[in-house]
Amino acid sequence: MYAIIKMEKSMLSNNKKLSPLCILEVLKESSDENHPLKQEQIIQKLYNRFGLELERKSVGATIDSLIDFGFDIVKTRNGCYLGEREFEKSEISYLVDAVFSSKSIDSAHARKLSQKLSNFLSEYERRRYKYIYKSDQIVRTDQKQLFYTIDILNEAIENGKQVEFNYNRFYFDKEKHEKKKQKRYVINPYFMINNQGRYYLVCNLDYFDDIANYKVELISNIKILDSPIKPITKLKNCENGVDMAEYTNQNIYMFHNKTVDATLKILNEYSAEYVAEWFGKNARFYMKDNILYADVKVNEQALIYWCLQYGETIELISPNETREEVVNKIDTMRNNYKKGETK
């Protein structure tokens, strides 16, 4: 249908064999459950948009043929409209909101992607997404090469090849920043994860034997090398491979260190929602002495920061070593605030 839109009116007016596709395009663009089109309206839109002149009898017969072919065109007393589309309205809403809120892509790409998605809807339903024009007001990356980087990484992962790139971390020390800016990283890429609106590359820095995560938006000057990747099974604690879904669930903040089996004590019944929200089906809830607990398997560093976030109503019971780390950070924070300047 995209090709039809691009064709000149003169070409279409002389080629009525394309009229079924043009009618379908009109119904897709200008009709929905609340805005059915009568045949005379379809005829007028066909002429205005494509230069096609059709009679009512021809339009009616073509619509019947499209229905016979399997298109969900609904007829009512007030006209007809295109029912089932490539995406449901709720699906488009979810996808547009995900793109709009993503911080991994620049505002121009966010706006363009949102517009492409909303084009699956009628012109009337599309109006609810006017907010996509404010996408430049969302705090997001300025990295315009994100999609290029993703393409290169996908190609490297598919072909099992190493990649080399610069990684643009921020350092307050200007000299250190310039030095790190020039550094080239040789990486074994395994897969990518979208976590909290940002893309991460799950990989291995070739000099080491553990797994690592890099923000894709901070990668620049990437190129694929001829050398094959180091198998993920050769990495520490990855002898049996890595399950992508399991890794995502365990690394809620995308830190890379050991995973622990933890027990959480839920001091407020409403706080169970936080555990369910972050850990989903991987959390095992149970009652003991009339107190609610949850067992989770999670990245240790991520767990520490998560406990600091929800520490008022959720207590980490075990592992004891991790619990001590949480206590130490709380003490450090308390001391910082005690000795901090007040105005």
The radius of gyration of the chain from alpha carbons, rounded to an integer in Å, stands at 28
103 and 119 in one domain? yes
238 and 150 in one domain? yes
Q: How far apart are CA 227 and CA 274, in angstroms?
A: 44
Flag whether pLDDT at 29 surpasses 70. Answer: yes
Is residue 247 in some structural domain? no
User: How many independent structural domains does the chain possess?
Assistant: 4
CATH of the domain at 58: 1.10.10.10
pLDDT digit string (tens) for 113-153?
777 887 777 777 766 555 444 444 444 455 567 778 888 89
Is residue 249 in some structural domain? no
Quote the domain boundaries for residue 188: 146-242
Is residue 9 in some structural domain? yes
**Domain end marker among 82, 97, 122:** 82
289 and 223 in one domain? no
Is residue 67 in some structural domain? yes
pLDDT of 275: 85
pLDDT digit string (tens) for 258-297?
788 999 999 887 788 788 777 777 788 898 998 999 999 8
**pLDDT average, residue stretch 40-64:** 89
Is residue 250 in some structural domain? no
Phi/psi for 188 (5° steps) reads: -100, 105
Is residue 93 in some structural domain? yes
pLDDT digit string (tens) for 182-237?
889 999 999 887 766 667 888 999 888 888 888 888 888 999 999 999 999 998 87
Is residue 313 in some structural domain? yes
Q: Distance of CA 116 to CAs 96, 129, 248, Å?
A: 9, 11, 28
74 and 37 in one domain? yes
17 and 74 in one domain? yes
Is residue 251 in some structural domain? no
277 and 223 in one domain? no
